[in-house]
Amino acid sequence: MTKLSSLAEQVSALSPIYFHDSYERINETDDAFFYKTDRFVNHLDSLALQTVEDVIGSLIIEEKPVILDLMAGWDSHVPSWLKPGKVIGLGLNENELKSNKILDKYILHDVNRNPSLPFPDAGFDAVINTVSVDYMTRPVEVFKEAGRILKPGGLFLVVFSNRMFPEKAVKLWRNSSEDERVIIVEEFFKETGLFERPSLFVSKGKPRPADDKYASEGIPSDPVYAVYAERMGGNPLREKRPNVKIRFGALPSEEVIEARKKAVKNTLCCPYCGEKMSKWKVPDNPFCQTWDNDFMYICFNDMCSYYIRGWDVMYRDTNQGMSYRCMFNPVNGCCSPMPVPTPFALREGIIP
């Protein structure tokens, strides 16, 4: 057995990312063989894909960035407004890579067979890996390689959702909850010793687009998680990467929100989206005992930017798996956030 030199190493060795069977797969056949079959499909619904574009487009701020799409298919989700200097795709399906319009070049390379990436040190501004980290059997080695080929301060952006090819996803991923997967990816970053502290963006609970094949099943749009970090050694004076700006669910201006808040007791419209709020019966439970009124007004609009952004805000505030809706208290005249764990929560209290 390898000798573990420090307490930190001994503690990290207890993590499931180091368990001997964590990277077992149901289908252990050659990946090159599995991915030889063309799959010109969308791996997420259209709204989630728009969010992926927004994430990539917001976080890559370099001029004419040189980008590696690691584990690429036929679409790299790089928005046209980014104007990249060069995009290289690395993956396993030649037909898909050939038809990926944004790529200047593609390389067929199996990262599970050989995690060394065929590029020199410090040549990329950004490495993106979209809905594919679940298939890596040697993730820490691949993450180290991503660090090696990035320029100091360059971005490694790992985006994932909750869909997968289960037979090719590793056991660690299949057996983890969505929240645990975020921690797992953060650990991959930390274990390399090459990246700054990872940041997180979460998009959940948006309505599924009406034209989506699962629209009638009442499930929300696919969640999007982005865990990202900069290669250590970047210029500390350089402009900071901004927060992710999403097209769907952008907040109105502060002035509009304030004006609507002032008017809410007359309009009963949500200050954030302008939609009518629903009258809602306060339940008889210990959490609501501090309210002495029988009714509140709550915005149940699933398109409301306050609610849409709430998943991300709550996640960063360590309240994983929650968002909030805007609630107006007609007794004190104030609006406040009402936490919700799902898009369906609290609806039973709506008074028609």
What is the spatial distance between Cα 46 and Cα 51, in angstroms, rounded to a whole number?
A: 9
Q: Which residue is nearest to ligand SAM (CB)?
A: 73
The residues in 213-272 that bind ligand SAM, with binding defined as CB under 6 A, are none
Select 43 or 309, whichever has its Cβ closest to ligand SAM: 43
Helix (H, G, I), strand (E, B) or coil at 309: helix
Please state the closest distance from residue 41 (CB atom) to ligand SAM, in A: 9
Window contacting ligand SAM (CB under 6 A); options: 7-15, 90-98, 200-208, 343-351: 90-98
Q: Is 35 in the site for ligand SAM (CB under 6 A)?
A: yes
What is the spatial distance between Cα 106 and Cα 118, in angstroms, rounded to a whole number?
A: 11
Q: Of 343, 247, 339, nearest to 302 (Cα)?
A: 343
Site string for ligand SAM, 105-124 (x = CB under 6 A): -----xxx------------
Enter the tokens of residue 281.
Answer: 């019966």
Site string for ligand SAM, 42-81 (x = CB under 6 A): -x---------------------------xxx-x-x----
DSSP string, 242-263: PPPPPSTT----HHHHHHHHHH
Q: Is 91 in the site for ligand SAM (CB under 6 A)?
A: yes
Contact 138, 170 (CB under 8 A): no
Window contacting ligand SAM (CB under 6 A); options: 57-65, 86-94, 321-329, 330-338: 86-94
Q: Is 135 in the site for ligand SAM (CB under 6 A)?
A: yes
What is the spatial distance between Cα 172 and Cα 279, in angstroms, rounded to a whole number?
A: 44
How far from 193 is each of 4, 55, 153, CA to CA, in Å? 16, 24, 14
Residues at the site binding ligand SAM, with contacts judged by CB under 6 A:
31, 35, 43, 71-73, 75, 77, 91-93, 96, 110-112, 130-132, 135
